[in-house]
Amino acid sequence: MLELATFSLLNGIVYGLLLFMLTSGLTLIFSMMGVLNFAHASVFMLGAYLSYQVGLWVGFWPALVIAPLLCGLVGAGIERYGLRYVHKSGHVAEILFTFGLSYLIEELVTMIWGRNAVANNVPAAVDFPLFTLFGSTFPAYKGLMMVISVSMLVFLWLALKRTRMGLVIQAALSHPSMASALGHDVPGVFMLVFAIGSGLAGLAGVIGGFMLLTQPTLAHAVGPIVFVIVVVGGLGSLAGAFIASMLIGILQTFAVAIDYSLVDLLRALGFVITRSTPSYEFLSIKVATVAPTVPYLLLVLFLIVRPRGFLGKRDV
């Protein structure tokens, strides 16, 4: 039991960190430009594919750097040649534009790499047990993933709080016209932020690619969860996104490991439950089966109890 709990917790933290890497880029773009980038998970997927492809050519370690950079370039292109023009039609048009892009990226990926999952296996360089606990091993790539995401977090925080660029970004965020009047290139800053956000998604994609299946449906598999995190954490709040990511990561990992249903619980409490009990089908659903819906259940719960999310300040 202790073993199960420890490993579920560790895996939950790893998964939560991965989710946070994804969400941080999304939150950065949102709090900066007010645009919810629906194509964010698609860029994440693109990162997974690019790291796979680049990894085939030049190996894993260079790919770890190159793939996020390429994703950043893609992000810059999306902002420069698409979003910038859609901006004048309002936020809904911007959301829809990125939503359309998510269709396009999914199909482009299909067009290049096919409909089936590519063999994006854990690279040999990080495929060894990092430590052994209770007789089970914890793989090194999960350790690497934790290191990368935590250092990214620290880097992001320092960059925003301590550098001149970060200050300009924060200024452009709260007062775009004022920052522009002071001579800062606001469109340029927007493009940069979009590129950084996309690069972060790409970095998450490199790691996520071999933790999850690298296939064209990958974006749809993680996208909705990421958006739920954004709502539960409070739109535009990095700290809230962190709490929500960890919460969902850990809850979901634990749920997967629990092979019991309400029937088992009721029986343990002394109730007599048979197949003919009303709503037996509902009661007999195992917690593990419900695991994929945990984020959405949390969403509905928050909607009823605290519609603003953990740390949401403003009504958006």
Partner 1 sequence: MSNTRRPLNALKIGTVALVALALLPHVPGLGSDFGRSLLSQMGIAVVFALSYNVLFGQTGLLSFGHAVFFGLGGYVAIHVMRAINHGLPLPMPLVPLAGAAGGLLCGLLLGAAMTRRAGTIFALISLGVGELVYAAMFMLPGYFGGEEGITASRTKGFALFGLDLGSQLAVYYLIAAWVLIAAGLMQAFARTPVGRMCFAVRDNAERAEFVGYDTHGVRCIAFAVGALFAGLAGGLHAINYEIVSADAVSAQRSGTVLLMAYIGGAGHFAGPILGAVTLTWLQTSLSGYTSAWLLYLGLFFVLTIRFAPGGLAGLILMHGPIFHTRSFRRVLASYGIALVPTLVMACGAVLLIEMSYRLSTQPELGSRMRLLGIAVDAASVWPWLAAVLMLAGGFLGFRGTWPRVASAWERASEEAGAHRAVEAS
Query: Of the ranges 85-93, 158-166, 249-257, 270-278, which one interacts with partner 1 (CB under 8 A)?
Result: 85-93
- For residue 189, the one-letter residue type is V
The residue with tokens 């810059």 is 76
- Minimal distance, residue 10 CB to partner 1, in Å: 26
Angle at 255 between CA 295 and CA 200, to 5 degrees: 50
| 171 forms part of the interface with partner 1 (CB under 8 A) | no
Which stretch in 49-57, 146-154, 165-173, 298-306 sits in contact with partner 1 by CB under 8 A?
298-306
In DSSP terms, 132 is beta-bridged to 137
Binding mask 214-233 for partner 1 (x = CB under 8 A): ------x---x--xx-xx--
Nearest alpha-carbon partner for 196 in 159, 248, 250:
159
Cβ atoms of 208 and 23 closer than 8 Å: no
Q: Is 296 in the site for partner 1 (CB under 8 A)?
A: yes
- The yes or no reply on residue 274 touching partner 1 (CB under 8 A) is no
How far CA 91 is from CA of 80, 178, 306, in Å, comes to: 16, 21, 24
* Minimum distance, C-beta of residue 223 to partner 1, in the bound complex (Å): 8
Decide if residue 167 touches partner 1 (CB under 8 A).
no
2 binds partner 1 (CB under 8 A): no
Contact flag: residue 281 with partner 1 (CB under 8 A): yes
Q: Does residue number 77 form part of the binding site for partner 1 (CB under 8 A)?
A: no
**Both tokens of residue 131?**
């430590």
Integer Cα distance of 127 and 55 in angstroms: 15
One residue of 1, 2, 57, 92 binding partner 1 per CB under 8 A: 92
SS (H, E, C) 210-274: HHCCCCCCHHHHHHHHHHHHHHHHCCCCHHHHHHHHHHHHHHHHHHHHCCCEHHHHHHHCCCCCC
Interface mask (CB under 8 A) for partner 1, residues 230-249, using x and -? xx---x--------------
> Beta-strand (E) ranges in the chain?
129-133, 136-139
Enter the tokens of residue 207.
């790691």
Q: Is 161 in the site for partner 1 (CB under 8 A)?
A: no
Applying CB under 8 A, among 69, 108, 117, 146 the residue interacting with partner 1 is: 108
Q: Point out which residues bind partner 1 (CB under 8 A).
A: 36, 82, 85-86, 89, 91-93, 95-97, 99-101, 103-104, 106-108, 110-115, 220, 224, 227-228, 230-231, 235, 281-282, 285, 289-290, 292-293, 295-297, 299-300, 303-304, 307, 315-316
